[in-house]
């Protein structure tokens, strides 16, 4: 608790009006990789409490569209269409696809994380399953020059996911933003440009 309260990114997020410290992770990656492009549609999977959607909305400045989805409630954000539901369920995925109306997406963000059970192998398998579902969604909905950014944890299934991403995208890189805690095993995989 002390670490959280004294965390520089937690303090910055409060001061600057962002809903979570995760906002700074996306800002840092976007500053480097130029993922958020005005005019694009962006899908934010695992969006609550909304830090990433806030960053996207600010950087699109009204030119583009954001569709956010989460199992948890999320307070409204101007310019963001929000669906509350479980991404693993077909009817929720259908709602998302209906909102997209057949239009292709420039960027899929996935910061999804399951409720952790405390059983490392089981938790890792569930994290990887969500990452694979996000990748599959990206395969189906991204524009040819689109990008997919996903949070994962290094461990069982990680190499297989990297392989799947390399089969899907022309470029795959790993990002560990400064806002990620050093002791955390989380990394972000970024795939850009769909293979033919």
Contact 80, 68 (CB under 8 A): yes
Contact 77, 23 (CB under 8 A): no
Residue with tokens 């990297």: 162
Nearest CA among 192, 163, 160 for reference residue 175:
192
Active site residue 14: no
C-alpha–C-alpha distance, residues 154 and 102, integer Å: 34
Choosing from 25, 143, 151, 192, the catalytic residue is 151
C-alpha–C-alpha distance, residues 196 and 185, integer Å: 32
C-alpha–C-alpha distance, residues 88 and 188, integer Å: 21
Which residues carry out catalysis?
151
């Amino acid at each position: 608790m002390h670490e959280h309260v004294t965390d520089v990114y937690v303090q910055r997020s409060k001061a600057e009006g962002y809903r979570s410290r995760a906002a700074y992770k996306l800002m840092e990656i976007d500053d480097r990789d130029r993922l958020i492009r005005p005019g694009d549609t962006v899908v934010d999977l695992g969006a609550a409490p909304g830090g990433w959607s806030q960053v996207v909305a600010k950087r699109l400045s009204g030119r583009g569209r954001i569709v956010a989805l989460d199992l948890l409630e999320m307070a409204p954000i101007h310019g963001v269409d929000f669906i509350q539901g479980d991404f693993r369920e077909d009817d929720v995925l259908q709602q998302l696809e209906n909102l997209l109306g057949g239009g292709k997406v420039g960027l899929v963000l996935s910061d999804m994380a399951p409720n952790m059970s405390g059983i490392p192998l089981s938790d890792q398998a569930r994290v990887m399953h969500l990452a694979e579902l996000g990748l599959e969604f990206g395969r189906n909905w991204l524009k040819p020059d689109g990008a997919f950014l996903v949070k994962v944890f290094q461990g069982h299934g990680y190499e297989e996911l990297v392989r799947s991403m390399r089969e899907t995208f022309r470029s795959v890189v790993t990002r560990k933003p400064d806002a990620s805690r050093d002791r955390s095993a989380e990394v972000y995989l970024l795939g850009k440009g769909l293979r033919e």
